[in-house]
Structure 1
Amino acid sequence: MSGETNINTLLASMEPKLLDGDYVFCTFKDAKYGDHAELFPLAAYLESEGLTLLIKQDIADKAGLAYEAIFKGITLTIHSSLEAVGLTAAIATKLTEKGISANVIAAFYHDHIFVQADKSALAMQALAEFNN
């Protein structure tokens, strides 16, 4: 499998990048994949309770959708392997120390973390501590 697996390399080289915009998680009880494509979801996950979409806050607001919290996205720019062990745990532990929730989404090339919008600067500082 491609991508980095060494936890020390991953932590030292992750180079977190704060994404532009605010994001929200919205759920649709009777929806299926492909529904609500007009919302341009960044991510989708089908749970037993319904389809969860991660979308930009301004799009959710224009559509009149309900959401519970506002998040900022952080992408770890290192190409991490889906088989890497410990990266999510290390990040979650570091953010927990600062009182920040870590909503992690692993994609093929990178890991993405969605944190409370008002704590995004603190989250970036916390992640930078891995380079010290």
Structure 2
Amino acid sequence: MTGICDLGVLLRDMRPELSQKKYVFCTLAIDAFKALADCTPLCVFHEPEGVSLIMEESMAMATGLPYDGTYRKITLQVQSSLQAVGLTAAVSGALADQGISANVVAAYYHDYIFVEMETADQALDVLNRLSLA
């Protein structure tokens, strides 16, 4: 798979899509994570302090995992290359200019931005405008 590296094309074709689901960030010790056999988070990242999870709010509530804040996921539909330079900076910079916190995850095919529930619609508008610039 060859993703797009050209920043102009990435921005023009990013087609941001806002999920209606609510997501949360959780953390727990590795042993506690291993005990959650039925838990299927969207993202798992092993850090020195423990395991960080991104999951739907309903799953965190069902498993009793504590979290702080609720987020919405914006998917950039453009298929970016892992070697692309500047997409994260352009997106997070545009959001930062509007005072919107952006938690960015770059996966193999797409980039995802988690924004606070209260700013989700505004964030989508900012990204759509960036795509048209």
TM-score after normalising by structure 2? 0.92
**Cα offset for 1:99?**
1.1
Percent same amino acid among aligned pairs? Answer: 40
Deviations 1:19-56 (A, max 9, x none): 23100011012348765342210000000000011110
C-alpha spacing 1:20/1:35, structure 2 compared with 1 (3 Å): farther
CA–CA distance in 1 between the matches of 2:37 and 2:97? 37
CA–CA distance in 1 between the matches of 2:72 and 2:20? 8
C-alpha spacing 1:66/1:129, structure 2 compared with 1 (3 Å): same
In the TM superposition, 1:1-132 aligns within 5 A as 2-31=2-31, 36-130=36-130, 131-132=132-133
Contact 1:70/1:117 (<8 A) preserved = yes
C-alpha spacing 1:31/1:75, structure 2 compared with 1 (3 Å): farther
SS in 2 for 1:89: helix
Q: Partner amino acid for 2:67?
A: Y
TM-score after normalising by structure 1? 0.93
Deviations 1:53-96 (A, max 9, x none): 11100111122211111110010001000000000000110000
SS in 2 for 1:24: strand
CA–CA distance in 1 between the matches of 2:32 and 2:95? 33
Specify every segment of 5 or more residues in structure 1 that has no aligned partner in the other structure, as ranges. none
Q: How many residues align?
A: 132
CA–CA distance in 1 between the matches of 2:43 and 2:34? 11
CA–CA distance in 2 between the matches of 1:83 and 1:33? 31
Q: Partner amino acid for 1:13?
A: D
Specify every segment of 5 or more residues in structure 2 that has no aligned partner in the other structure, as ranges. none
**Cα offset for 1:101?**
0.9
